Copies of this chain bind each other. A is one copy, B any other.
Amino acid sequence: MILLFSSIAIGTVLIIYLTLSVLDKSPGNEKTERISNIIQKGARSFLFQEYTVFFPIVIVLALLFTFTTGYKQALSFIIGSVFSVLAGFFGMMIATKSNARTAWGATKGVGEALDIAFSGGAVMGLTVSVLGLLGLSIVYLTFGLQAVSYYSLGASFVALFARVGGGIYTKAADVGADIVGKVESNLPEDDPRNPAVIADNVGDNVGDVAGMGADLYESYVGSIFSGIALGYILFGDKGILNTLYIVGFGLIASILAIILVKVLSKMNTEPALALRSGTIASSVVFLIFSLAYAIIEKNLNLFWVVLIGNIVGVAIGLITEWYTSGKKVEKLAHSAMMGPANVIISGTALGMESTAVITIIIAVGTLLAYKIAGLYGIAMAGVGMLATLAMNLSVDAYGPIADNAGGVAEMSGLDKSVRAITDKLDALGNTTAAMGKGFAIGSAALTAIALFANFGSTAHVQEINLQDPKMFIGALIGAMLTFFFSALTMNAVGDAANDMVEEIRRQIKEIPGILSGTSEPDYQSCIKIATKGALKRMVLPAILAILAPIILMVGLGVQAVAGLLIGSTVTGVALAIFMANSGGAWDNAKKYVEEGHLGGKGSFTHKATVVGDTVGDPYKDTAGPSLNILIKLMAITSIVFYSIVGRWL
Name A residues whose Cβ lies closer than 8 Å to a Cβ of B: 175, 179, 183, 335, 338-342, 344-346, 348-353, 355-356, 359-360, 362-363, 366-367, 370, 375, 378, 445, 449, 452-453, 456, 461-473, 475-480, 482-484, 486-488, 490-491, 493-494, 497-498, 501, 556, 562, 566-567, 569-571, 573-575, 578, 610-611, 614-615, 618
Q: List 5 A-B contacts (CB under 8 A).
A: A345-B490, A351-B487, A355-B484, A445-B476, A464-B471
CA distance A363 to B349 in the complex (A): 29
Task: Say how many copies of this protein the assembly contains.
Answer: 2
Choose from B349, B465, B477 the contact partner of A360 (Cβ within 8 Å): B477
Structural contact, B487 and A349, CB atoms closer than 8 A: yes
Structural contact, A356 and B562, CB atoms closer than 8 A: no
Choose from B175, B359, B453, B618 the contact partner of A467 (Cβ within 8 Å): B453
Choose from B344, B469, B488 the contact partner of A378 (Cβ within 8 Å): B469
Structural contact, B462 and A359, CB atoms closer than 8 A: no
CA distance A477 to B477 in the complex (A): 19
Chain B: which residue is nearest A362 at the CB level?
Answer: B476
Starting from the known contacts A463-B465, A479-B479, 19 additional A-B residue pairs (CB-CB under 8 Å) come to: A179-B338, A342-B494, A342-B614, A344-B344, A346-B491, A352-B484, A352-B487, A353-B491, A363-B476, A367-B469, A370-B469, A456-B467, A471-B566, A472-B569, A472-B570, A476-B573, A479-B573, A480-B570, A483-B578
Chain B: which residue is nearest A486 at the CB level?
Answer: B352
Structural contact, B570 and A478, CB atoms closer than 8 A: yes
CA distance A367 to B471 in the complex (A): 11
Structural contact, B483 and A355, CB atoms closer than 8 A: yes
Structural contact, A475 and B570, CB atoms closer than 8 A: yes
Choose from B340, B363, B477, B494 the contact partner of A335 (Cβ within 8 Å): B494
CA distance A470 to B351 in the complex (A): 26
CA distance A477 to B574 in the complex (A): 9
Residues of chain B lying within 8 A (CB to CB) of residue A362: 476
CA distance A477 to B610 in the complex (A): 33
Structural contact, A469 and B453, CB atoms closer than 8 A: yes
Chain B: which residue is nearest A573 at the CB level?
Answer: B476
Choose from B175, B480, B501, B575 the contact partner of A359 (Cβ within 8 Å): B480
Residues of chain B lying within 8 A (CB to CB) of residue A179: 338-339, 341-342
Residues of chain B lying within 8 A (CB to CB) of residue A453: 466-467, 469
Structural contact, B352 and A483, CB atoms closer than 8 A: yes
Choose from B466, B487, B611 the contact partner of A452 (Cβ within 8 Å): B466
Structural contact, B472 and A462, CB atoms closer than 8 A: no
CA distance A293 to B472 in the complex (A): 31
The 4 lowest CB-CB distance pairs between A and B, nearest first, are: A341-B614, A352-B487, A359-B480, A479-B570
Residues of chain B lying within 8 A (CB to CB) of residue A562: 466
Structural contact, A345 and B570, CB atoms closer than 8 A: no
